[in-house]
Amino acid sequence: ETGVTQTPRHLVMGMTNKKSLKCEQHLGHNAMYWYKQSAKKPLELMFVYSLEERVENNSVPSRFSPECPNSSHLFLHLHTLQPEDSALYLCASSNGLRVNTEAFFGQGTRLTVV
Amino acid sequence: AQTVTQSQPEMSVQEAETVTLSCTYDTSESDYYLFWYKQPPSRQMILVIRQEAYKQQNATENRFSVNFQKAAKSFSLKISDSQLGDAAMYFCGITDSWGKLQFGAGTQVVVTP
């Protein structure tokens, strides 16, 4: 087990669908992140949660809705997505939000919007 | 706001040779860390090496070393004695005092036998 597990690994959805991405960490961390990875673009930090409270929302469209019910789980709820939202979505966790914090990543969910 | 720029989309290196990946950054923070992460085909990002901005001595981890030029805001990664397992996407990143980690666009390293 990698420590940070993301499900599903692959997801194809229509623009009118509603789906959710799940992230679970088994490392005892209290901070979790969502990143979007598109080809030839910097990884985009989407959301940051610390102690289950959202501390960062980088102007992400409202069709992406995060949820952090506890320190071990993080969800990204998706609805009415656009084709340009197709990307690899990476979840990460860390032991607190500190300048020297190391982030541990999951293997990502490859999302295709059709 | 912090930005990270990786100007090399792809670098090719022969086994046992050395390759250097470039990274420049911009930040208004005085306290920050710089990181290099590796993303192999499995897609899972793995920390390779990190450097504290206050330390002048360049960090080294086995075959991986950095050249940190603070005044130039440059943070390059050198991979020595390259191995086939080093083939991956490499991301340069920076954290601010709040621990938020920002990355560049990545450099694909191709290792040829």
Lowest mean pLDDT among A14-18, B74-78, B90-94: A14-18
pLDDT in tens, B46-58: 999 999 999 889 9
Average pLDDT over residues B25-41: 92
In this prediction, residues A11-31 reach a mean pLDDT of 94
Q: Which of A25, A30, A43 best probes binding to B when mutated, by most B CB atoms within 10 angstroms?
A: A43
Which candidate from B43, B91, B96 shows the least CB-CB separation from A99? Answer: B96
Averaged pLDDT score across all residues of chain B? 94
Cis bond upstream, residue A8 (ω within 30)? yes
Do the chains contact at A45 and B96, CB–CB below 8 Å? no
Verify whether the Cβ–Cβ distance A41 to B32 is below 8 Å: no
Over residues A57-104, the pLDDT tens digits come to 778 999 999 999 999 999 999 999 999 999 999 999 998 877 778 899
- Which residues in chain A have their CB less than 8 angstroms from residue B99's CB? 31, 94, 96-99, 101
B78 and B23 Cβ atoms separated by less than 8 Å: no
A10 in B contact zone (CB under 8 Å): no
Convert the pLDDT of each residue in B81-99 to its tens digit. Answer: 999 999 999 999 999 877 7
Interface residue A31 vs chain B (CB under 8 A)? yes
**Strand pairing category for B88-95 and B74-79:** unpaired
CB count in 10 Å sphere of residue A54: 12
Helix (H, G, I), strand (E, B) or coil at A93: strand
